[in-house]
């Protein structure tokens, strides 16, 4: 995979911002009494920070870090919790915020362990989804963009810890 200083744009900054605002409106409508957001580090940090600034009302935040034992650019399906939540989920209206759902293995694992902690509501928002890669049917209530099977970087997503700072979603495998 080439390491280019200016990767090709797949989704522009403007298109991301417009879609994030739409998602925030949908989420606000579905969580009228406020919500507790769990952002999955590191990839979701920019999506989460743009999203929360568009959601009015009560929002609390927590973070979780997972290691997905990635082999190169694909997930192996084995997941480990590297950083757990600071607070309990008992009775809370929870929204998981993820960067991308690919095979669905990471998110399925995460939803299972969080559901076991007794939230009143548990839904998921993903900025990106690659449905053609799905190995397991996982529920994602809010999807920013459905994309084809390309390796994407930027807006929080990395390749070898680079590119997270790109303000757009780019592709490396062009």
Q: Which residues are catalytic?
A: 102
Within 18-47, the residues that bind ligand 5GP by CB under 6 A are 43
Within 51-70, the residues that bind ligand 5GP by CB under 6 A are 68
CB of 91 to ligand 5GP, least distance (A): 27
Which residues touch 17 (CB under 8 Å, ≥6 apart)?
50
| Candidate segments 3-11, 28-36, 53-61, 99-107, binder of ligand 5GP by CB under 6 A | 99-107
Please check whether residue 42 is in contact with residue 158, taking contact to mean a CB–CB distance below 8 angstroms.
yes
103 binds ligand 5GP (CB under 6 A): yes
101 binds ligand 5GP (CB under 6 A): yes
7 binds ligand 5GP (CB under 6 A): no
99 binds ligand 5GP (CB under 6 A): yes
Long-range contacts of 154-160, Cβ-Cβ distance < 8 Å, separation of 24 or more = 154/7, 155/16, 155/46, 155/47, 155/127, 156/42, 156/43, 156/44, 156/45, 156/46, 156/47, 156/99, 156/127, 157/43, 157/99, 157/100, 158/42, 158/43, 159/1, 159/3, 159/73, 160/3
16 binds ligand 5GP (CB under 6 A): no
Q: φ and ψ at 154, to 5 degrees?
A: 100, 165
110 binds ligand 5GP (CB under 6 A): no
Q: Which of 23, 39, 51, 153 binds ligand 5GP (CB under 6 A)?
A: 153
Residues that bind ligand 5GP (CB under 6 A): 43, 68, 75, 98-107, 151-153, 157-159
């Amino acid at each position: 995979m080439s390491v280019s200083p200016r990767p090709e744009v797949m989704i522009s900054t403007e298109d991301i911002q417009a879609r994030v605002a739409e998602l925030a409106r949908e989420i606000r409508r579905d969580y009228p009494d406020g919500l507790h957001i769990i952002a999955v580090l590191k990839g979701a940090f920019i999506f989460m920070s743009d999203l929360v600034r568009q959601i009015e009302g009560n929002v609390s935040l927590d973070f979780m870090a997972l290691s997905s034992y990635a082999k190169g650019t694909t997930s192996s399906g084995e997941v480990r919790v590297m950083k757990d939540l600071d607070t309990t989920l008992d009775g809370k209206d929870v929204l998981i915020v993820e960067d991308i759902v690919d095979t669905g293995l990471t998110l399925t694992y995460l939803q299972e362990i969080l559901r076991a902690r007794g939230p009143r509501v548990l839904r998921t928002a993903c900025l990106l989804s690659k449905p053609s890669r799905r190995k397991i049917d996982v529920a994602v209530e809010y999807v920013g963009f459905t994309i084809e099977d390309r390796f994407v970087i930027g807006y929080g997503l990395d390749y070898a810890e680079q590119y997270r700072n790109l303000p757009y979603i780019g592709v490396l495998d062009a």
